[in-house]
Amino acid sequence: MLQIRDLIWGLLFIGCAAAIQVEITPTQGEISVGDSKFFLCEVVGDAKDIDWYAPSGEKILPNRPDIFVSRSDETTSTLTIYHANVDSAGIYKCVAKNGDKEAQATVQVKIFQKITFESAPSPQEFNEGDDADIVCDVVSSPPPTIIWKHKGSRIQVAKDVRYKIMDNGHLQIRGIKKTDEGMYNCEARVMARGEIDFRMIKVVVNVLPTIRARQSDVNATADIGSSALLACDADGFPEPTVTWAHNNVVLETGDKYSLNEDGSELVIKDVKKVDEGDYTCIAKNKAGEKAEEVSLNVFVQPKITYLNNQTASEFEEQVTLTCEASGDPTPTISWSFENRVFSEGEQSLDRNIVVRSHARVSSLTLKNVQFTYAGQYLCTASNSIGQDDQNMYLEVRYAPKLQGNVAWYTWEGNPTNISCKVEAHPRATVVWYRDGLPVPSANFTNLKIYTTPTISYLEVTPSSQDDFGSYNCSATNAMGTEYKEFLLIEADVPTTPELYQVEPFSSTAVIQFGEPEATGGVPIIKYRVQWRLPGQDWTEKEYSAEDDLNQITILGLNPETTYEVRISAINGKGESESSPAKHFKTEPVREPSAPKIEVKVHNRGNSLKVNWIKQDDGGSPIKHYLVRYKAKYVSDWKPEMRLPNDSEYVVLNGLDWNTEYEVHVVAENQQGRSEPGIRSIRTASEPTTIPDAMGGGSGLGTGAIVGILIVVFFLLLVGVDVTCYFLNKCGLLMCIAVNFCGKAGPGAKSKDMEEGKAAFTKDESKEPIVEVRTEEEHIPNQGGGPTEPNETTPLTEPEPAAADTTSPVVNLLPSTATNSVAESFSTAQSSPASECTTLTTSASSPTKAAHAKSSPKNSPAAQPSSLKANTQPDVGPLVDLSDTPKVPPSSNPTPSEPVSPPSANADAQQSQCDQVKAPDSTQSKDLRVDGPAKDAPSAPCTDSTTPVQNDGKTVKDDKTKGEAEVKNATAEVKTVPNEAPQTNGNESKA
């Protein structure tokens, strides 16, 4: 293509060597608005000037900003159109000149508009219910076709009249709803170019707020520090903001008001009466605003604002008491005096008390003032939310008023107080007169005066008849003087009481009588009842005179016996004449009378305490009481209870709450059972809470109980510490004794002995068992030679003893060390019937002592000799078994405990026992075993210090001062390891 072109140009150049030719590339051009494009003008031939001309015919100058012309060489020139617009369209011409030669070429430039969205904002917001105009402004050339889509589907305007596409391409939705909200697609198409473009537009539908007050009227009480809560709930889209206003002033959080986070709740603090009124709740969003009124009603508790004390004089025409009160609602005012309440209007038949009220003021008018009007008046102001009470005092000044019994009775030598009660205001001065003379005085030494604020007492001790008569009391104050006369009369003994009847029983009798017609001026103090067998001495008993006393029971009578009885009355002056005697005969022996019972609720309410009073026993002692009970609504009785004859009550526990029970109590003697005493009572209702203290509760507070527990716990700790001190040598007390007092604890002296555990420390796993046996079998020595040694033969052989020997008394001293083992001695008497005693003790540990006591059993042959044992010294060989280390005996052993009981026979030979030295130990105890004794001369005692080697093999006696022989007897002491058998068959032979 290029070769053909060059060929054509060559031909033209050759053919027209002298002509100029112009060609524009491209030959035509289309430019989108806003785009840029250039055109190249090429000249064939020599051209001095190459110029471009606009469609208007004007030459295009090089300095234009929108169209730029540039000449790159002598044959080409470039036209560049920047940011083309519709005005840039037209025919552009390129002209080449060289002197008089000129050539030109043209190119037509077309400007078209691409699809351009000039205005398609997103999101676009509308209010619900409005006609929404969704803006989508699109330009292009030619004009585009607009298509709207929603939720992926094309909007069919013909099918839904709510939708309409406007001439400008906008989409209109009539009465838009919240459901129309979402993404809309605005699509533009140019069919001539196949061009398409779209924009997504978000449509938001705002909803006007709705508002609802939780409570349209709110009530509050002023001046009590309370708060009021006003609340409204708002809804809408977007979420509305809520504000409150009162009297067109927007309220904010502060000292007076408080709002929550979303503003829906308004709290008014410390409500006052001025806070009353309407409060506006305003909800606002993009769709608009709504308001709702909430009314706050502030009530004021009543308060008495005026009430003063008043003073008046008796017999004044009237006095008015005024009480004024505030409050909302307006309070009602009432008056009260001594449990009497006055309301509006006249309050008495004589019209002397009148109450009048107006608005918040009430007045109480008292006419013809009496001294009884004086006192404390209560004004009460009340309305629907509360009340207020205040007292005022009405002081009434009046002359003295005297009160008291006119007649007073006494007798010579008996003092009496004549009381003169004085009522007066102001206080009165009291003076007593006798025969016109003030008392007391030198003439009346037996008169004394005692005065209290309201009563004056004249104490008269008559010494003769002259002291009886008239006494005058005079009281005087600023309002006047008052007198009163009192008579002092000599008292007399009462008249005889009348004995109505006697109701006899087997062992008791009930007498009924009437009070004396005249008491003699002074009260009856007691009654004297006398009874007897006919012709015998009177038996009497006095009974205190109580109110309405008209019968007395005589006790301790004999069955089927005739008695006579009489009664007399006694006052301070003396005793009346006795009533005429009445005869009665007691009934024969029979069953008892029914007990008189009383039942009351006990303790916490579901228990009953049944008390009974013994009545006539029927002439035979009561054996016991029988008690049974049941709930009234059931037929079955609870098991019958039998109680001793001296019982007076029983408590029934675990009863049902709020249930009526029937209780029967029967007394029984030898003759049978009485009629039941019957009572019914209902238990208490079950309490909802447990009372703090009922029926004998301790009443102790929590602090007292905690203190007691602390003291008990402390004493327990002290007890445990003391126990540890004495038993285990440990604890706080042990530490104090050793470190502060320098004292060793109990058992400390055996410390060295414990360190010398010779046998047990060799093999502590083998605890020794020590067996001590006294063989019953007697084997005499043949030919006077020693017996053949065997396993049980002791290594220290006894020397021959005299033919007659004293039955030895074996005194066993336990080891002084804590791990000592028990000892036993076997002695055989010369008689073949001598006893055998075996004592076996196991040492549980090297540090614990096992103490054993043994008393021989007396055989029939030995019992006679045992009766004479007290005539001989109760002394025997002493052997000390200990786990202490072997210590060489001292030449002068220290006596430990002398054993020398006194002889019962002065003519018998005395036997003395030297003292036996035992290792020092604070825990040693004596263990004594006394064997049977026979009548024989006394034998010498041995004194030995016996170190013991506890190695499980031997026990050896190192030193013997006195020699003794026990005939035909052998003593064995054997220590056997714990794992060895305790018997082997040869231990029974001596």
pTM of the predicted model as reported, rounded to 2 decimal places: 0.41
User: How many whole angstroms separate alpha carbon 44 and alpha carbon 47?
Assistant: 8
**The pLDDT of residue 778 is above 80:** no
- The 3-class SS string of 228-281 reads EEEEEEEEEECCCEEEEEECCEECCCCCCEEECCCCCEEEECCCCHHHCEEEEE
**The pLDDT of residue 842 is above 50:** no
Tens of pLDDT along 677-707?
Answer: 999 999 998 887 544 444 444 456 677 888 8
Side chain identity at 837, as an amino acid letter?
Answer: T
Which positions ≥6 away from 792 have C-beta within 8 Å? 773, 775, 970, 972, 974, 986, 987, 988, 989, 990
Q: Which residues pair with 376 in a beta bridge?
A: 393
Are the C-beta atoms of residues 356 and 365 closer than 8 Å to each other?
yes
Q: Is 437 exposed, middle or buried (0-12, 13-18, 19+ CB in 10 A)?
A: exposed
Q: What token pair was written down for 4?
A: 């053909």
3-state secondary structure of 225: coil
Whole-number percent of the chain with pLDDT over 70: 71
Phi-psi region of 719 (alpha: psi -120 to 50; beta: other; left: phi over 0): alpha
Cα distances (angstroms) measured from residue 829 to each of 637, 867, 869: 75, 16, 14
CB atoms within 10 A of CB 202: 13
Which single residue is written with the structure tokens 């004594």?
Answer: 928
User: How many whole angstroms separate alpha carbon 455 and alpha carbon 439?
Assistant: 16
User: How many whole angstroms separate alpha carbon 484 and alpha carbon 430?
Assistant: 11
User: Angle at the Cα of 615 (from 612 to 620), degrees rounded to 5?
Assistant: 120
pLDDT band at residue 982 under the 50/70/90 scheme = very low
Cis link prior to 238 (omega < 30° from 0)?
yes
DSSP 795-859: SSPPPP--SS-PPPPEEEB--SSTT----------SSTT----EEEEE--STT--------PPPP
CB atoms within 10 A of CB 464: 8
Tens of pLDDT along 65-77?
Answer: 788 888 878 888 8
Q: Is 148 exposed, middle or buried (0-12, 13-18, 19+ CB in 10 A)?
A: buried
Closest CA to 447 of 477, 472, 423: 472
DSSP 854-898: --PPPPTTTHHHHTTGGGS-------B---SPP-PPPSSPPP---
Tens of pLDDT along 895-938?
Answer: 333 333 333 333 433 333 333 333 343 333 333 333 333 343 33
8-state DSSP, 214: S
The mean-pLDDT minimum among 246-255, 265-274, 608-617, 981-990 falls in 981-990
Side chain identity at 930, as an amino acid letter?
Answer: D
Which positions ≥6 away from 89 have C-beta within 8 Å? 55, 109, 110, 111
Q: Strand 310-313 relative to strand 386-403: parallel, antiparallel, unpaired? A: parallel
H or E stretch covering 754: helix 751-755
Most confident of 321-330, 596-605, 796-805: 321-330
Closest CA to 479 of 393, 554, 369: 369
Whole-number percent of the chain with pLDDT over 90: 44
Q: Is 167 exposed, middle or buried (0-12, 13-18, 19+ CB in 10 A)?
A: exposed
How far is C-alpha 311 from the chain's CA centre? 54
Q: What token pair was written down for 737?
A: 């004794």
Which positions ≥6 away from 402 have C-beta within 8 Å? 420, 421, 422, 423, 473, 475, 482, 483, 484
Between 940 and 22, residue with greater pLDDT: 22
CB atoms within 10 A of CB 351: 10
Q: Is 310 exposed, middle or buried (0-12, 13-18, 19+ CB in 10 A)?
A: middle
Are the C-beta atoms of residues 966 and 977 closer than 8 Å to each other?
no
**The pLDDT of residue 386 is above 50:** yes
Phi, psi of 87 (to 5 degrees): -75, -15
Tens of pLDDT along 884-901?
Answer: 344 333 334 333 333 333
8-state DSSP, 34: T
Sign of the CA dihedral with 974 first, then 970, 836, and 945 last: negative
Please report the pLDDT score of residue 350 as a whole number. 76
Q: What's the mean pLDDT when you consider all of the chain?
A: 75
Tens of pLDDT along 100-143?
Answer: 888 888 988 888 888 889 999 999 999 999 999 999 999 888 88
User: How many whole angstroms separate alpha carbon 103 and alpha carbon 52?
Assistant: 12
Are the C-beta atoms of residues 627 and 679 closer than 8 Å to each other?
no
Q: What token pair was written down for 463?
A: 């010494």
Cα distances (angstroms) measured from residue 619 to each of 592, 615, 644, 694: 8, 11, 18, 42
Q: What token pair was written down for 865?
A: 């000799």
User: How many whole angstroms separate alpha carbon 169 and alpha carbon 120?
Assistant: 11
User: For the packed helices 732-739 and 702-727, what is the interaxial angle rounded to 10 degrees?
Assistant: 60
Side chain identity at 177, as an amino acid letter?
Answer: K
Q: With the CA atoms of 576, 578, 579 and 581 taken in that order, what torsion angle do they form, in degrees rounded to the nearest 10?
A: 180
3-state secondary structure of 714: helix
User: How many whole angstroms separate alpha carbon 595 and alpha carbon 610?
Assistant: 11
Are the C-beta atoms of residues 617 and 699 closer than 8 Å to each other?
no
Phi, psi of 748 (to 5 degrees): -70, -25
Overall average pLDDT of the 232-255 stretch: 92
Please report the pLDDT score of residue 941 as a whole number. 34
Overall average pLDDT of the 860-889 stretch: 37
